[in-house]
A and B are shown apart, each in its own frame.
Chain A
Amino acid sequence: MKPPLNISRIKLSIQKREEVSRKFDAILTFISICVALFVVAVIFLSFGINAFVAFKQIFISLLNADIVTVRMIPLLLCSIGLIIVFKANVWNIGAEGQILIGAVAATWIALFLMPDASSYVVIPCMFILGFLLAGLWALIPATLRAYLDINEIITTLMMNYIAYFLVAYLASGPWIGKAVWGFKQTDLIPPQARLPQIKGTLIHYPTLIIAIIGAVLVYILLQYTKFGFEIRVFGSNPEAAKYAGINEAKVILLTMFISGGLAGIAGVGELAGVRYRLTANPKGLSADYGFTAIIVACLARFNPIAAILVSYLMGGIIVGGYALQTSLNVSRGVVNIFNGLILLSLISAEILKRYKISFKVVKSR
């Protein structure tokens, strides 16, 4: 006879958690990524794709610092901008379009406004105009939100499509190149307007430097300035912000302007550092960076410094996705699947931060 079990029941208790350490945050993030990887593996296997080979490919891609950094640059620029608006509880989903507007600004300067200017003039001008135009583009939905209370999620999304067709129009119409033999694209921008690269790599370092300095500046803005304080108060408690005399419209307009502008800089970098021309199919240029940046912002827990690391990681996943596309002949959409899953598991794990689940063995009698 088996000895009688002296455990009568296992008591499950759920308690509220008070404080959550940063370490716990990091563990949750790691677990979320693992869960997402696991689900992707299941999807792969159900389609008869060897998940192990696929993951190895993504891991190898992460080590390819050259190409990954190129992908990281726009992600970092967009995500630090998104961190600012998200902290204010304003949802800019329009980074994708704002990237395109930045690219339009760069093309306009390089091809039409100052085709003969030297690098020292044309490159700063591209960045400045890219920032301003994309910032203004983001101000349209921001104004509608600030003064008419129109949901900015919808309007920024719609503006993405408008920006997309604007580029398609420019590249196939008024700006169509003279030397493109019927392709719907602009001419290449002149060599002096192209961003310099680190020797032997494709990394256009001016944009990288702007992005990293930008991340530090955004951190300082949010943590140590009065405006940063206003952003955080408005974002976490708009009622309190009102009583504290914080100007609601100012927070919405300014955060959206900066966020749009940073995405615009990403667009300038993509155009003048990677692509050198606009085409009538601009999806390749914005390449979902605007959406992926949302994930970067969330994974980085809205910390601009952490965003540097996370955007490198996500850059690696994008590169890995492209590699899978050719080696395993799967769709690039795999990256989107993975992105969606990471985000879902990440926000689901948030509940573990609020509640502590513990098991207690209660002995019988």
Chain B
Amino acid sequence: MSLESLISPLYEMILLSTPIIFATIGEIYAERSGILNLGIEGIMSLGAAIAFVIAYTTGNITLGIFLALVAGGLLALIHALVSINFNANQVISGLALAMLGLGLSSFVGKKYVGLRLELMLQPIKIPLLSSIPLIGPVFFNQDILVYTAYILTIALWFLLYKTKWGLYIRAVGENPYAADSMGINIYLVRYLCTVFGGMLAGLGGAYITVVYMHTWREGITMGKGWVAVALVIFAFWDPLKGFLASLFFGGIEVAAIELYSIYGLNTHLTNMIPYAAVIVVMMFSASEIMKKRIGAPASLGKPFIREKRR
């Protein structure tokens, strides 16, 4: 197999991975602050619908993507309110958010099902980098949002591990009572992280409809939001690893498509592969977690009730 023949599937892999990268690194931030947001699927779906509807009606992709971000942030804000202030069960709240988001997306997108968006984001060649064989055309001949994903990943990794703010976030997720006594505003940190995570999930959804598929239908996110929640665990709550995990998942999706289109396997069987892969991957990470004793942020999913402090 020549290098040339690898370019197209790998290019496709980046396109398929990008929405998951956004959702995964966003969810990593929410979970690092101690808030488990299972609603990502609903947020992505709403982002996908809103971005498409706005881009289609106004002809302005940027506006569509921006409003998807806003909508994602607003939905996550509901989750933040319910789980941070009302100390509600975050699993149920997340599931409710997923339903709400999926419902709203089908409500908003009803009249736009199956329409085709003629606008697209043009790929931008990065000088020098794009001329590296294989890597250049795959990684550095992409649209602006893909580059945003690269930069965000690195920036978020740096923020989380190398700055005071990152330390605060991690402290809040590990032991909010200790962090509280250090004078960190638990509520503020959790709100910011959850809303930020929601915005990124909305952005991921927007990428699916506006940049990749150019169309909208119900259920277009195909469980990518749930996958993102799984990849957060696989990535051990690290943005860099989250990026790689998302690429890996995108790769599996491409492989499944290839199996169908080149080797003629039944499309329904190949469609199962990415979801089965998530389960397999979680089995691997489970043994890793047991071996290295690294795990979820200690206070993940637990409400912070100040009067409980000892």
Which residues of A does B touch, CB under 8 Å? 43, 47, 91, 93, 144, 148-151, 153-155, 157-162, 165-166, 168-169, 172-173, 280, 283, 291, 294, 298, 330-341, 343-344, 347-348, 350-351, 354
Contact of A333 among B86, B107, B223, B229 (CB under 8 A): B107
Is the CB–CB distance between B91 and A340 below 8 Å?
A: no
Chain A interface, DSSP helix/strand/loop, else mixed: helix
Contacts of B98 in A (CB 8 A): 340
Is the CB–CB distance between B38 and A153 below 8 Å?
A: yes
Contact of B282 among A155, A294, A332, A354 (CB under 8 A): A155
Interface centre among A91, A148, A291 (most CB of B within 10 A): A148
What's the minimum C-beta distance from B103 to chain A, rounded to whole angstroms? 3
Is the CB–CB distance between A340 and B103 below 8 Å?
A: yes
User: What mask results when residues 191 to 231 of chain B are scored 1 for a CB within 8 Å of chain A, else 0?
Assistant: 00000000000000000000000000011001100110110
6 pairs, A vs B, C-beta closer than 8 Å: A144-B282, A149-B289, A158-B276, A161-B271, A344-B78, A348-B88
Is the CB–CB distance between B86 and A350 below 8 Å?
A: yes
Contacts of A351 in B (CB 8 A): 86-88
Q: Is B184 an interface residue (CB 8 A)?
A: no
Is the CB–CB distance between A150 and B272 below 8 Å?
A: no
Is the CB–CB distance between B99 and A340 below 8 Å?
A: yes
Q: Is B173 an interface residue (CB 8 A)?
A: no
Contacts of A153 in B (CB 8 A): 38, 91, 229
Contact of B286 among A150, A159, A343, A350 (CB under 8 A): A150
Bound together, the chains give a CA A59 to CA B293 distance in angstroms of 54
What's the minimum C-beta distance from B210 to chain A, rounded to whole angstroms? 20
Known: A157-B223, A348-B86, A350-B88. A165 touches B110 (CB 8 A): no
Is the CB–CB distance between B269 and A169 below 8 Å?
A: yes
Bound together, the chains give a CA A284 to CA B283 distance in angstroms of 32
Bound together, the chains give a CA A169 to CA B230 distance in angstroms of 25
Contact of B99 among A149, A283, A343, A348 (CB under 8 A): A343
User: What mask results when residues 274 to 286 of chain B are scored 1 for a CB within 8 Å of chain A, else 0?
Assistant: 0110110011001
Q: Is B259 an interface residue (CB 8 A)?
A: no
Is the CB–CB distance between B272 and A162 below 8 Å?
A: yes
Known: A148-B283, A153-B38. A347 touches B107 (CB 8 A): no
Q: Is B102 an interface residue (CB 8 A)?
A: yes
Bound together, the chains give a CA A151 to CA B300 distance in angstroms of 13
Bound together, the chains give a CA A338 to CA B104 distance in angstroms of 10
Q: Is B146 an interface residue (CB 8 A)?
A: no
- Across the two chains, which residue of chain A brings its CB closest to B232? A154
Bound together, the chains give a CA A172 to CA B91 distance in angstroms of 36
Contact of A340 among B97, B266, B289 (CB under 8 A): B97
Name the 5 nearest CB pairs between A and B, nearest first: A336-B103, A340-B100, A333-B106, A343-B96, A337-B103
Q: Apart from A144-B279, A149-B286, A157-B226, what are 6 other A-B pairs with CB-CB below 8 Å?
A: A93-B95, A165-B272, A168-B271, A169-B269, A337-B104, A347-B86
Q: Is B17 an interface residue (CB 8 A)?
A: no
